[in-house]
Amino acid sequence: MKNLQSKVAVITGAASGIGRHLALQLAQHGAKVVAADFNETGLRETIELIRQQGGEAFPQLVDVSKKEQIHLMADAVLGKYGQVDILINNAGVALGLISVEEVTYEEMEWIF
pLDDT digits over 46-101, tens only? 999 999 999 999 999 999 989 999 999 999 999 999 999 999 999 977 677 788 88
Range of the domain at 85: 8-111
In a domain, residue 99? The reply is yes
In a domain, residue 1? The reply is no
Contact 35, 47 (CB under 8 A): yes
Model's pTM, two decimal places? 0.86
Distance CA 65, CA 53 (A): 31
Specify the CATH number for the domain of residue 77.
3.40.50.720
- The total number of structural domains that make up the chain: 1
CA of 51: how far to CAs of 23, 24, 68, 93, in Å?
A: 11, 9, 28, 27
Distance CA 91, CA 98 (A): 20
In a domain, residue 96? The reply is yes
